[in-house]
Amino acid sequence: MQRSRIALFILSVLVGSVALTGCDQRAEQSQPSAPKAVPVGVITLKSQALTLKKELPGRISAFQIAEIRPQVSGIIQSRLFTEGNRVEQGQGLYQIDPATFKANLAASEAAVARAEASISSSKSKASRFAELLKIKAVSQQDFDEADSAYKQAKAELLTAKAQLQSAKINLSYSHVYSPISGQISKSNVTVGALVSANQSTALATVTQLDPIYIDLTQSSNELTKLKKLITSGDLTVDSTSQTDVELTMEDGSIYPHKGVLQFSEVTVDPSTGSVILRAKFPNPEKLLLPGMYARASIVEGVKAGAILVPQRGVSRNSKGEPTAMVVSKDNTAQSRVLKVDRTIGANWLVSDGLADGDKLIVEGLQKIRPGAPVSPSEVQSSITADKAQ
């Protein structure tokens, strides 16, 4: 009997131990385990002074254009240039038949000689009558008539000389010269053609291609925004580079010479809402031709304390706002809503939402969510400001 009680007691103890062990195991399994830190790659952001540029569309235009028109009427006697070649300032282009102008010049020279002879005679007569008047040998009326004839002769001489000068000018106009240096177009007239003074059709056109202009268009809204940024101090003007212009040609290549910004129009085109900016470029190789389309980068100003962020570290939320994940002080992921200004190369220029020293998560973003613990490690940054725009 005693043995049975002892065996029953031992069995009860064993059953209770097993039950307690099962409860402990279930209690341990019911307690949540602490989440593990997710390894992520980060870039420590650094503010920097950044030269901002703006790319604008534009058209190439000639530096100078001269439409050659005759200033006298006549028959084209000869053409003195080769079409399409370069001509120099003062070079002869056309010869208009000068026979009529030479005849007019000879007549004007004869008129001057006649006037000079007349003035010599009238001057002598007026001088004699002046002496005779002193001794009352001639009347006052006779002297006045002689003196008037002398003055009239002087006036006729001046008229004859003016006509002579006009005849010389017309004769010189019969030889048509180039007013500028440049490339000349095809000739619109041939030898034997009749031309008239100041006709509407040009004989030919001379275009100066070196240097050359590019006329850029910028919206008035962008120009107003830029002026406000400069006024508020967000952008500063760098006088050493403010007028530098870089040109991208139609095929996408960079033009080898830098240009200089000349001026900006002070009125807005009401049909396009834009203003014209003109830049001047050297064009020794004649790569740029009037009418070509091109894009040019102009310097807007220098932004101090600019924050550049790799595009791979920025995403969009359900509202379409740009967001980024950063590492907080307690090594957890934190979401930030950003304000971005523009893209610069492979980076975003961030105007709000990030600051100098923030650790931006760029690797492992798909494995984390806001508030998750992370284990950050620095990765190589590709942020550069060389391609500022």
What per-residue confidence (pLDDT) applies to 12? Answer: 57
- Using the predicted structure, report yes or no on whether residue 16 has a pLDDT greater than 60: no
Do 179 and 92 lie in one domain? The reply is: yes
Cα–Cα distance, 191 to 207 (Å, whole number):
23
Spatial CA neighbour of 368 closest among 318, 338, 332: 332
In a domain, 13, yes or no: no
CB 178 within 8 A of CB 91: yes
Helices (H), the chain: 2-30, 99-134, 140-173, 220-232
In this structure, the chain runs to a length of 389
Q: Which of 201, 219, 251 is the last residue of a domain?
A: 201
Do 312 and 285 lie in one domain? The reply is: no
In a domain, 270, yes or no: yes
Do 296 and 214 lie in one domain? The reply is: yes
CB 344 within 8 A of CB 359: no
Do 296 and 230 lie in one domain? The reply is: yes
What per-residue confidence (pLDDT) applies to 358? Answer: 87
Do 232 and 320 lie in one domain? The reply is: no
CB 340 within 8 A of CB 314: yes
What per-residue confidence (pLDDT) applies to 302? Answer: 82
In a domain, 343, yes or no: yes
Do 257 and 293 lie in one domain? The reply is: yes
Do 325 and 295 lie in one domain? The reply is: no
273-328 pLDDT tens trace: 888 888 899 999 889 999 999 898 888 788 888 888 888 888 888 888 899 888 88
In a domain, 130, yes or no: yes
Backbone dihedral angles phi then psi of residue 149, each to the nearest 5 degrees: -65, -35
Provide the number of structural domains found in the chain: 4
CATH code for the domain in which residue 57 is found: 2.40.30.170
Contacts for 36 with CB less than 8 Å, ≥ 6 apart: 373
Do 277 and 164 lie in one domain? The reply is: no
Do 251 and 353 lie in one domain? The reply is: no
Average pLDDT over residues 358-362: 88
Do 219 and 299 lie in one domain? The reply is: yes
What per-residue confidence (pLDDT) applies to 241? Answer: 65
Pick 163 or 117 by higher pLDDT: 163
In a domain, 293, yes or no: yes
For 69, the 3-state DSSP assignment is coil
- Using the predicted structure, report yes or no on whether residue 17 has a pLDDT greater than 90: no
Angle in degrees, 0-180, between the axes of helices 140-173 and 99-134, rounded to the nearest 10: 160
Spatial CA neighbour of 340 closest among 326, 321, 327: 321
Cα–Cα distance, 74 to 195 (Å, whole number):
6
Computed over every residue of the chain, the mean pLDDT equals 82
CATH code for the domain in which residue 92 is found: 2.40.50.100
In a domain, 282, yes or no: yes
The structure tokens listed for 233 are 């101090």
Average pLDDT over residues 206-224: 87
Whether residue 211 has a cis bond before it, omega within 30° of 0: yes
Average pLDDT over residues 190-196: 93
Helices (H), 135-265: 140-173, 220-232
Q: Which of 183, 201, 219 is the last residue of a domain?
A: 201
Spatial CA neighbour of 296 closest among 343, 347, 243, 338: 243
CATH code for the domain in which residue 126 is found: 1.10.287.470
Percent of the chain with pLDDT over 70: 86
In a domain, 27, yes or no: no
Q: Which of 275, 303, 331 is the last residue of a domain?
A: 303
In a domain, 253, yes or no: yes
23-80 pLDDT tens trace: 445 544 545 555 788 888 888 888 888 888 888 888 999 999 999 999 999 999 999 9
What per-residue confidence (pLDDT) applies to 34? Answer: 59
Cα–Cα distance, 119 to 121 (Å, whole number):
5
Cα–Cα distance, 329 to 373 (Å, whole number):
11
If pLDDT is split at 50, 70 and 90, which confidence band does 131 have?
confident
Do 255 and 223 lie in one domain? The reply is: yes
CATH code for the domain in which residue 368 is found: 2.40.420.20
Do 322 and 290 lie in one domain? The reply is: no
Domain containing residue 294: 53-62+209-303
Cα–Cα distance, 217 to 277 (Å, whole number):
6
| Alpha-carbon dihedral sign for residues 333, 337, 339, 344 | positive
